[in-house]
Amino acid sequence: MNDVIVEYGGALSDLAFEENREDAVLESVRAVKRAISDAPEYIKFLSAPNIAIGEKLSAIDEAFGGVDAYVKNFVKIMVERGYASSITDCFDEFTRLYYAKKNISVARVLCAAELDEAQKATLKAKLEKKTGKTVELECVLSPEIIGGIRILIDGELFDGSIKGRLDGLREQLAKTTI
């Protein structure tokens, strides 16, 4: 990982936790990251060498007036130091550190069909019991798994999908000599 990302993302995390504003900072980090992903040309604007720093800083104030002051100032510092292209990566590092400090894991759940709230609550409870962490579910519809679910959490894959079972069966059959 790039030193700038680790250093600046870590500094934002340290400051947010020291000031007990980590939740507000996380919310603002997510909002700014969404805004940047919705308008990728914005980073090009903030990185452009032919645009005056003052103009960029005014644009940041205008675009992000409602976000946490720490996050808005963080974006300004990154732009002033020439690191605009690393802003979202620093936000990812902040989020990673936030989750680690708060003992939270994100479970990416691929589902063939939408899970209802009761199914999500049951799955969340089971994953929390297994990991000993607070779990956030990120459910994604994935019809190609045919049925069931696949869960990726903390680098571990749990495959309870029909596609996974068919793939396993296909492997067994390929190894079988007739």
Question: What does the pLDDT read at residue 82?
Answer: 94
- Please calculate the CA angle 118-121-124 and round it to the nearest 5 degrees: 150
Query: Tokens standing for 154?
Result: 């903390």
What average pLDDT score do residues 58-85 get? 95
pTM: 0.81
pLDDT in tens, 125-158: 999 999 999 999 999 999 888 888 999 999 999 9
Domains of the chain, with CATH numbers? 3-100 (1.10.520.20), 103-175 (3.40.30)
Tell whether the model's pLDDT for residue 40 goes beyond 70: yes
